[in-house]
Amino acid sequence: MTAARLTDPVAAELIKLRTLPALWIALAVAVTANTALGAIAATDVIRLAGDGGPTGIEGAGALMLAPVYAYLAIAVFAAGTEYRNGQLRLSLAAVPGRARFLAAKLLAILVVSLLAAVPVLIPNLVLRGDLGDLGRYLAAYLLLALTGYGFAFAARTVVTPIAVLAAVPILVSTTLGGLWPTVVRVLPHEAALSLVGMPADPATALSPAAGLLVLTGWATVSVTIGGVLVARRDV
């Protein structure tokens, strides 16, 4: 598949994404939340109770990573909205060849996600003085977004991927972390926390490199399964 054959489909996908109001709303929420958390961490106006005494909110990894679930909604909406009002049928008719459609869709969402990551991440990291960690945060955000993207194609909906990915750290990680830390540490949220150097619990911590590997695995499997289902199930 040549780059020339993807130029027009990618351009069409970018136009489609640009006209989805939900994407702009998700971006605004992610930027606002991340900037606010960065400002709070920088000014240290809120202190959290800890074993060693009160600490700043930057010590609460799960809280600092929370805006990623608004950010990944951009990719989830890009995939999930294909199942509204027969949009997928129109998209496939406009781009003959499902592999070509999927490749164009993925390239478009990568471009959009990379552009969106700039206003989402940089204000927070600048305020906290952690701009040197931009690469790790960018990887975590993009890989979680791709995990949600593939999940949305598999589930054929927008709600389920966001609900599941956001609920896992609240319901599963906190409940099973002490019982099965080996399992919990390879869940997407925990792997992302390890990648950015903010594991919620030493028992579920991975090295940043291992966190990157685990997250890459989740994203790869999710996008692959979603693509196979679009190619073989959806009409």
Tell me the average pLDDT across 104-129: 94
> Over the stretch 135-156, which tens digit does the pLDDT of each residue have?
999 999 999 999 999 999 999 9
pTM: 0.90
Phi and psi for 56 in degrees, rounded to 5?
-70, 165
- pLDDT band at 46, cuts 50/70/90? low
CA distances from 14 to 9, 104, 229 (A): 9, 9, 23
- Look at residue 26 in the predicted model and tell me its pLDDT: 96
Q: Where are the domains of the chain?
A: 3-232
- Look at residue 60 in the predicted model and tell me its pLDDT: 66
- Look at residue 21 in the predicted model and tell me its pLDDT: 92
- Look at residue 194 in the predicted model and tell me its pLDDT: 93
> Over the stretch 160-218, which tens digit does the pLDDT of each residue have?
999 999 888 777 766 666 667 788 889 999 999 999 998 878 888 899 999 999 999 99
> Over the stretch 6-35, which tens digit does the pLDDT of each residue have?
888 899 899 999 999 999 999 999 999 999
